[in-house]
Every structure is written in structure tokens, then in C-alpha cells.
Amino acid sequence: MVELKQINGLGEKGIALLNKMGINSVEELLTYYPFRYEQIKRSDLKTINIKDKIIIDGIVETNPSIFHFKKRLDKMSFKLNTGDNLYQITIFNRAFLKPKITPGTKLTIIGKLEKRTSITAYNLRFGLIEQEEITPIYHSIYGVSEKQISKWINKALDLNIILNNKLPYYIEQQYHFLPKTDCINIVHKPNDINLLKRVVKQLKYEELFLFMLKMNYLKLNKSNKIGLKRNIDYKKIEEFINNLPFELTIDQKKCVDVIYDDLTNPKRMNRLLQGDVGSGKTIISFIAMYMNYLANYQSALMAPTEILANQHYNNLKKILVPYGLNVALLTGKTKTKEKKEILKKLADGTLDIVVGTHALFTDDVLYKNLGLVITDEQHRFGVNQRSSLKNKGITPDILYMSATPIPRTYALTLYGDMDVSSIHTMPSGRKQVITTLKSEKEIKEVLTEMYRELKLNHQIYVIAPLIEESDKMDLKNVFELETNMNKAFGKLYKIGVLHGKMTNQEKDEVMTKFKNNDIQILISTTVIEVGVDVENATMMVIFDSFRFGLSALHQLRGRVGRNELQSYCILISNYETERLKVLTKTNDGFKISEEDFLLRGSGDLFGSRQSGDMVFKIANLKSDYSLLLKAKEDSELFLKNHHEDERSKYLINYVEKYSELD
């Protein structure tokens, strides 16, 4: 890895910004690819139609006139002479360029042909078109401008470092792939559109091949396993379901039946249960564990956070303990003495169910007869955890639950051998959460809305991306918000704080107070994100929303609207508002994950945004779907025909990190 400071003219400030974007080395900067290209080539006026994209150049004829409207919008108009025509040009939010645009100025206009001689420009450049040009366009994030990124990348290219393709050699040969260094140069400084297309395809292929290789490798190690065949009296299940305080939705019933089939059938269950936040997945997992118990096997339920593990534990006590099951909670915070006791009971079979966090998968945990493993909020476990479930000769059935729905076609490709069940119907009586987007300037309105809910005796979650102030990132933090919220509401209402650095006990205390309405405003990091249930909370306020993926925000929003009360979600952000708008328009988790797919590849599906492992840099699962299928086929062939040593060259960083249950 070459350090960023090698780049000429890149100072500490620039490095800090790049780090914020997840770029920590020159290699990573060079693989920060343009998301699109602008091809500058004079349009052929003979073939162009109204509403088409148009590129022309010419000389300004009139001084621009400017029109201001709304708060921050302006519109500039002037006439441009191209030699053939006199065009009326209109462009928004470029009023600041007015001093540079006077009669005689040479301009290139990129825009849309509205009428025969009128164009709405979305970009303009000074100067005429000398020769055909292809300009890379980079995503500008965290206030780093596109130009800035482009400048740094060009400086990085000047270092002339050598990069290698990460593909098996025979594949490079087979497809006549170019050396990686050439690809990188071309992708950032293209001058031939056909060559560029070829290079982009190659880079996408490489990314998809490595991804599918990993996926297929995992499947290979997992498939063809014989599972447990159980005899379970269905009447007992029916009885259990009839005794629940609510009636299961149609989709929930379907899931229960499918799981019943899985568990009574000798083929090993490997099922993903996906359903929107609040669709009622937990109860299905409880029923599955009850079935497993009736066949005399132990179950393990794993949750991504302590809070959620606690909540599951409390619900299990209410719902399953009355049926005679022995249940325990095991987390990283469980005291040594208590843990010893639990381990003993798991090994001798006294315990029927253990619920917990990763602690369930440390090496010292031995089960007598573990028959079922359930992972809640599967998407949170994407990377960095390796598990070793020690079990005496039994291959447990596996149920994953996820509230980040994966569009079906992708799920089939990515999970392949995994069966997928989806819950689409919500429990009855739920209202849609009303979601609005605000800038930080509109904080007064946010406070007014919060006050309205508080007066109704409802409670509020407030989310910040950070716990405390950070000199690296200028983002809202929990403590700052606590101070501000206390100023606004402290006289009338109680405010609590929850974050990942607190001990289990501290978190529990705060959560309990919130549940009992001793706290009205709970300020938290995303530790609150998954699963937690407080019915009287009707508002979710999320600061610096742009820091989160759409699916993660949708999850957070799922903390409210869990009953018949009207609930609200306020997203506060000064950046990436286009992306965030999706959430104001839909409450459908499937649609939102599709958008996430479109916008950022599959990053969110497999783990946190920071993890990096799974985020595609150039490929897009949706638009490059056929390339993905090709990569899938090739990677399967590679695995089939190559020895483990050869395979591991390409898998090495991955297998160590990836968590799977066997």
C-alpha cells in the first residue's frame, strides 16, 4: 500500500477528507472510480429531436439576465450564437458566473433541447469544443468537490504505481484483459470511448468475479449437508399459536408452515426469512424454537446487539418459559460465574434455548444437541465475525432473519442454495410513518414538531452518528444533542442518553426508563437501530442522516409506528438530500433496498458501510446483472477445477473475516 501523503500537494486536511470517504491509500484513491462520464462532442443537429440531450458551442450574444425565486434558486438566461442558430440558453443556480459571461464569451453548452432554438443547460464550460473529450465525473461527498477529487486522482496517477489484476491468469488470457495499471489510467483519463467501455467492463467483471467466488466458495462448503429429521406434533404448534395474544398474519402463517416442513424433513434447513421492520419475524423464530424443543433439541438465537438480545430474552421468558422451556441469556457482559453455569447447562442439555450476542460462538461454548441456530438481523453480521459452533456431531438447521429485504433475483444469485421466505403483510392496525426531510437551518420547526408530540405524552428517539465530539468529523454527537435538547425541553421533560460505550447495565437502565416513560427523549447512536420495541414512542429524529444508508435509516424509522398511533420520522441533513428523499416517499422496505442497490451497490445488505468488503466500487448488481451471471459461472468453474491452494490465493483476505455458522 502506498500512503496518501506521497501524493504531491495533498495535505493533512485533504487526507482527513479522503479518510472520511473511506480512502486510506493511493491504491484506494485510484480505485475510486468515476460514476459516469461526460462526452463532449458537438451534437449532430440533423438527427437531434426535441427533448434530446444536446451539446453545442458558440459565442454569447447578450448579457445574461438573472431571476431569483424561492430561497436558494436562481435562473440565468442569455442568447448564444453557434453560427447556424441563435439559441436561448437557460441555466439554474449559476448566477455566480454572470460576471464571466458577457457578449463575445466562448461557451460550450451541455443540456436539453427544449424547443427548436431553446436549451435548458445543466452544465456549461468556457471555451469552444476543440476536440472530442470524455470527462470523468466523480461523486462529490462530504463537501469534497468533484474537481478536488479529480485533481487528487490525477496527482496519484503521476506516481506511476503498478497495480495488478486480481483474477486467475487463465481468465485474463481468455478475455484478453488489459494490465490493471493501463485500466486505471484509462478509467480516469479516457480518450477513446470504445476502449473506455472495454476497460469499465473488465473492472466490473473483476469485482463481480471475486465477489461470486467468495459467495460460491461459502456455498460449496455448506451445501449437501444432511440435517435433522424431527417428529413434531403439529397440534401442539396450533395450540401454541392459538394461545398467542394476536392472530398471525397470512404471511407469518405461511412461514411457520414452511419452517415446520423444513424441520421435519431430513434435508438441512438453510433459510432466510426476510420481512420489513415490524412485520413480526421474532414470533416466527420463537415458534421455530418451540418446534425444535418438542423434538428435544437445543436452539441458539443470536442477536447483533446486547439490547436486542436482552429484549428477546425477556420475550422468551414471557412466551416460551410458560411452556416449560429453560432459557438463558449469554452475552459478552455475562459474569464469569454465571457464564460457567450456563456453559455447563448447555453441555449437559439442561438448557433448551440460549439467546445472546457473539458470545454464543466463542470457542468455549459447547452444546449437547444443538438443532437450530437463528440469526436475527442477519445483515448486521456481514463481516468480521467468524464463528465456531461446537456441537457434538449434529448439523443444526439454520434460519437467518433480516429486515433488509433483498430483491428476489439478487437473493437467488447471491445466496443460491438458500431458501428465502418473505413477509409482506404487516400486522393489522399499523399506520404509515410520516417522514420529512429538513436541513439543519430548520431546526426550530423540528423542535416545534417534537414539542407537539411530547405534549401528547408521547416519546421521542433522537439519533446522532457519533457519541462524542470528534476532531476528524464534523458531525452531530450524542452529548452535544443532550445539551441542546436539555436547553429546549429540559425543564418539562426528562432526557436520556444511550450509546455503545455504556455498560450493559447502564444501557438496560436507560432502556427500562424509556420503556416506563420515565424518560421522554432518548438520544442515542445507532445501537438502538435494530429490533427494540417501545410502543409509546412516536417520533424518530435523525441528525446527519446522510451518514447512513437508506436501509439503515428505514430500520431506525421502524422503531416508531409499531402500533395504531400516528408516528413521524424527521431526517435532518444538509447533504445527499436527493438520496434521502426516497424515504419520504415510501415505507416499503423492499423498494428502499432496491434504491440502495441502485445507489450504492449491495454494501448495506452485507454489513456496515464502513466494512468495505462487500461494497462494489464499480459494478452495479442491477445494471450489470448479466455480467454478474457470467462471473458466477466462471467462478463456479474455477472452484470446480482448482485445488484449494490455488483457490485460497483469491480468497485469502476473505475467508478469515467472513462469518458463517459452520
Tell me: does residue 533 bind ligand ADP (CB under 6 A).
yes
Interaction between residue 511 and ligand ADP (CB under 6 A)? no
Q: Which residue lies nearer to ligand ADP by CB, 281 or 333?
A: 281
Task: Report the C-alpha gap between 548 and 556 in whole angstroms.
Answer: 10
Q: Which lies closer to Mg ion via its Cβ, residue 168 or residue 304?
A: 304
Pick the binder of ligand ADP from 562, 579, 600, 632 (CB under 6 A).
562
What is the per-residue burial (b if ≥16 Cβ within 10 Å, else e) of 181-199? Answer: bebbbbbbebeeeeebebb
User: Interface mask (CB under 5 A) for Mg ion, residues 478-497, using x and -?
Assistant: --------------------
Q: 442: helix, coil or strand?
A: helix
Residue 533 binds what, of ligand ADP, Mg ion, none (CB under 5 to 8 Å, by partner type)?
A: ligand ADP
Contact call for residue 280 and Mg ion (CB under 5 A):
no
- Scan residues 392-411 and list those touching ligand ADP (CB under 6 A): 403
Nearer to Mg ion, 172 or 604 (CB): 604
Residue closer to ligand ADP by CB (options 389, 403) is: 403
Name which position in 282, 305, 404, 525 contacts ligand ADP (CB under 6 A).
282
Q: Which does 464 bind (CB under 5 to 8 A by kind): Mg ion, ligand ADP, none?
A: none
The CA distance from 550 to 460, in Å, is: 20
Classify each residue of 115-130 as buried b or exposed e, where b means 16 or more C-beta atoms within 10 Å of its C-beta.
eeeebbbeebbeeeee
Q: Residues 6 or more apart from 634 whose CB is under 8 A from it?
A: 171, 209, 212
**Beta carbon of residue 323, minimum distance to ligand ADP (angstroms, whole number):** 17
Residue 531 Cβ vs ligand ADP, minimum distance, rounded to whole Å:
6
CB-wise, 101 or 307, nearer to ligand ADP? 307
Interface with Mg ion, residue 405, by CB under 5 A: no
Residue 109: name its binding partner from ligand ADP, Mg ion, none (Cβ under 5 to 8 Å by kind). Answer: none
Establish if 317 lies at the interface with ligand ADP (CB under 6 A).
Answer: no
User: Residue 245 in 3-state DSSP?
Assistant: coil
HSE (side-chain half, CA atoms, 13 Å) at 426: 17
Positions 241 through 270 that interact with ligand ADP (CB under 6 A): 246-249, 252
* Smallest distance from Mg ion to CB 531, Å: 4
136 near Mg ion, rule: CB under 5 A: no
Q: Binding residue for Mg ion (CB under 5 A) from 396, 405, 531, 561?
A: 531
Q: Which of 415, 524, 528 is nearest to 462 (CA)?
A: 524
Give CA–CA dist 601/616, Å, rounded.
6
Residue with Cβ nearer ligand ADP (249 or 587) = 249
* CB environment 285-315: b (16+ within 10 A), e (fewer): bbbbbbbbbbbebbbbbbbbbbbbbbbbbee
Out of Mg ion, ligand ADP, none, what residue 168 binds, judged by CB under 5 to 8 A for its kind, is none
Q: What angle do CA 384, 389, 394 make, to 5 degrees?
A: 145
Q: How far is the CB of 406 from Mg ion (least distance, A)?
A: 16
- 274 belongs to the binding site for ligand ADP (CB under 6 A): no
Distance CA 63, CA 85 (A): 18
* C-alpha grid cell, residue 350: 439442561
DSSP single-letter state for residue 389: -
Asked if 304 touches Mg ion (CB under 5 A), the answer is no
Q: How far is the CB of 406 from ligand ADP (least distance, A)?
A: 15
Residue 283 beta carbon to ligand ADP: minimum distance, rounded to whole angstroms? 5
Which CB atom, from 275 or from 465, has the smaller least distance to ligand ADP?
Answer: 275
**Which range touches ligand ADP (CB under 6 A), out of 54-62, 163-171, 240-248, 357-365?**
240-248
One of 274, 279, 545, 635 touching ligand ADP (CB under 6 A): 279
Alpha helices in 586-642 (DSSP H): 589-600, 603-606, 625-641
Considering only the stretches 32-40, 216-224, 530-538, 589-597, report the one whose residues sit in contact with Mg ion under the rule CB under 5 A. Answer: 530-538
Which residue's CB atom is positioned nearest to ligand ADP?
280
Residue 348 CB, shortest distance to ligand ADP, in Å, is 31
Which of 371, 531, 603, 607 contacts ligand ADP by CB under 6 A? 531
Q: How far is the CB of 403 from ligand ADP (least distance, A)?
A: 5
State the Cα–Cα distance between residues 408 and 652, nearest whole angstrom: 29
* Closer residue to ligand ADP in complex, CB, 34/558: 558
Q: How far apart are CA 591 and CA 581, in angstroms?
A: 13
Window contacting ligand ADP (CB under 6 A); options: 96-104, 161-169, 180-188, 279-287: 279-287
CA-CA distance, 76 to 400, in Å (whole number)? 55
Q: Kindly indicate which of the ranges 191-199, 227-235, 276-284, 380-388 contains the residues binding ligand ADP, using the contact rule CB under 6 A.
A: 276-284
The one of ligand ADP, Mg ion, none whose footprint includes residue 227, by CB under 5 to 8 A per kind, is none
Cβ proximity to ligand ADP, 110 vs 527, nearer residue = 527
d(CA 182, CA 161): 11
The rounded distance, in Å, linking the Cα atoms of 202 and 210 is: 12
What is the C-alpha to C-alpha distance for residues 233 and 294, in angstroms, rounded to an integer?
8
Which stretches of 243-358 are DSSP H helices?
Answer: 250-264, 282-294, 306-319, 336-348
Rounded to the nearest 10 degrees, what angle do helices 146-158 and 180-188 cross at? Answer: 150
Asked if 35 interacts with ligand ADP (CB under 6 A), we say no
SS3 content of the chain, % helix, strand, coil (to 5): 40, 20, 40
**Residue 119 or 283: which CB sits closer to ligand ADP?**
283
Alpha carbon distance 65, 67 (integer Å): 7
| DSSP per position, 484-522 | HHHHHHTTTS-EEEE-TTS-HHHHHHHHHHHHTTS-SEE
* Size of residue set near Mg ion by CB under 5 A: 1
Judged by CB under 6 A, the number of residues near ligand ADP is 18
Three cell numbers written together for 298: 437445543
Which residues does 624 contact at the CB level (< 8 Å), separation at least 6? 204, 208
Q: Which residues of this chain interact with ligand ADP, rule CB under 6 A?
A: 246-249, 252, 275, 277-283, 403, 427, 531, 533, 562
Q: Which residues of this chain interact with Mg ion, rule CB under 5 A?
A: 531
